[in-house]
Structure 1
């Protein structure tokens, strides 16, 4: 795994897609080193994060949620919000916050690549979710180019 490439790609991608101004599609993103086939003693780690201060225990609980693969029957927590999965796709799933105070809502897109889980958080509803999915796809495509 080329960590230098991953870091550069992350920095470039987050500078365009993650932020608090209205132009960015994401409010936060988290990249978790994740290999579902690795021995259980090899813990997932936070590789990168932007706009969020995730802690290892929180990430560990989230990774356990993903590994259990009961996406439609359980909820998960990231940051201050609890999420329920709304749709599952081939290599990603989408969720909406159950605990948001924002009128338009908040959502999450979680995409799995060969070596990472990318967690993207956004504010809003359908239009915001579409923009967030495009941003997530772009980053996953960059990582996939290097066969990570």
Structure 2
């Protein structure tokens, strides 16, 4: 992941996970890249199980110690807010499927920060799509 992806963006961390929704759930996810976080592949398994179940609005999911509730679902991405945030302004996450990857973008703040984080995610998606073509 290039440094320019996080530079100037309100993201506190980002992960790019290899993701095959048709593969067996016992296979551990592979973290292709990460910045601003220190997760291991095994830490992400419950999250990937949650995504594969595709029951996004019915359950709470965890990434590390943070628990999230989905607030918005779109065709290839969804947003969630942290329900046990330590930051008084709140925390959120944007998850976008880009080909065989899941981009997990963690941000701090509220509506303005979420909008800025989405712009950063969109820019990264464009960069990733250019590299893969």
Query: Normalization by structure 1: what TM-score?
Result: 0.82
Structure 1 stretches of 5 or more lacking a match?
Answer: 1-9
Q: In angstroms, what is the RMSD of aligned CA positions? A: 1.7
Give the Cα–Cα distance (whole angstroms) in 1 for the partners of residues 4 and 111 of structure 2.
Answer: 21
- Is residue 18 from structure 1 mapped to residue 3 from structure 2 by the alignment? no
How many residues are treated as equivalent by the alignment?
A: 133
Structure 2 residues not aligned, in runs of 5+: none
Query: Matched residue of 1:53: which SS?
Result: coil
CA deviations 1:63-118 (Å, max 9, x no partner) are 10000001001111112211110000110000000001211100000000111000
Runs of 4+ aligned structure 1 residues displaced above 6 Å come to none
1:135 corresponds to which residue? 120
Q: 2:5 touches 2:124 (CA, 8 Å); kept in 1?
A: no
- Scaled by the length of structure 2, what TM-score is found? 0.91
| Secondary structure of 1:48's aligned partner | strand
